[in-house]
Amino acid sequence: MTVRFGECVFDPETREFFRSGRPVHLPPKSFQLLELLLDRRPKAIAKEELLQLVWPGTFVAEGSLTRVIAELRDAIGDDAREPRLIRTIHGYGYAFQGSASTEARRPKAVSPVFKLIWGDREIALREGENVLGRDPMSLVWTSRACPATTRGFSWRGTTRPWKTSAAKTARTVAAGS
């Protein structure tokens, strides 16, 4: 099931988030927090409960929750001073207040699956050109130096079916920057 609100589409099953039709990278904690707020909308969730759910078994200061809420608001285009989507209940917690509709996911045509594994991250790549880097237009935005991106340059690659063996179903070919 996908959830559509404002100019955003949230799909917890595929772990994708789109704003204005473009994919937006949400850090894991922001993604989890948005999922909780949408699941319980329009009910308010206490800060203590959010801290326990998002950071289970870990002591985390309330400022961490405030920071993740700020990241989330930025990603969805909300403003803390004039909130349209995420409401702050001072002294208690947060609630999703925007209108949202839930839609069944449409089955996608079967296509090869391409993944880039980078450290502990697994990044799904779509067929065709994929851009990874510090450019906001990137499929994956990287905030730290990595072998694929240096000094503002991006890695640009093309995913194509590979048909030489059953073991190799796909490969990623670097197409240059």
- The pLDDT score that the predictor gives to residue 177 is 37
Q: Are residues 156 and 80 in the same domain?
A: no
Q: Are residues 21 and 93 in the same domain?
A: yes
The arithmetic mean of pLDDT across residues 72-101, rounded, is: 89
Separation of alpha carbons 7 and 156, rounded Å: 27
- The pLDDT score that the predictor gives to residue 95 is 92
Q: In which band, very low, low, confident or very high, does the pLDDT at 31 lie, cut at 50, 70 and 90? A: very high
Q: Are residues 96 and 9 in the same domain?
A: yes
Strand order in the sheet with 140-141: 140-141, 128-133, 155-161, 170-174
> Residue 157 domain-assigned?
yes
Instruction: Identify the domain containing residue 26 by its residue range.
Output: 2-103
> Residue 109 domain-assigned?
no
The torsion angles phi and psi of 66, rounded to 5 degrees, stand at -60, -40
Answer with the one of 103, 129, 150 that is the final residue of a domain: 103
First to last CA, the chain: 36
Q: Are residues 142 and 69 in the same domain?
A: no
Q: Are residues 79 and 118 in the same domain?
A: no
Number of structural domains in the chain: 2
> Residue 108 domain-assigned?
no
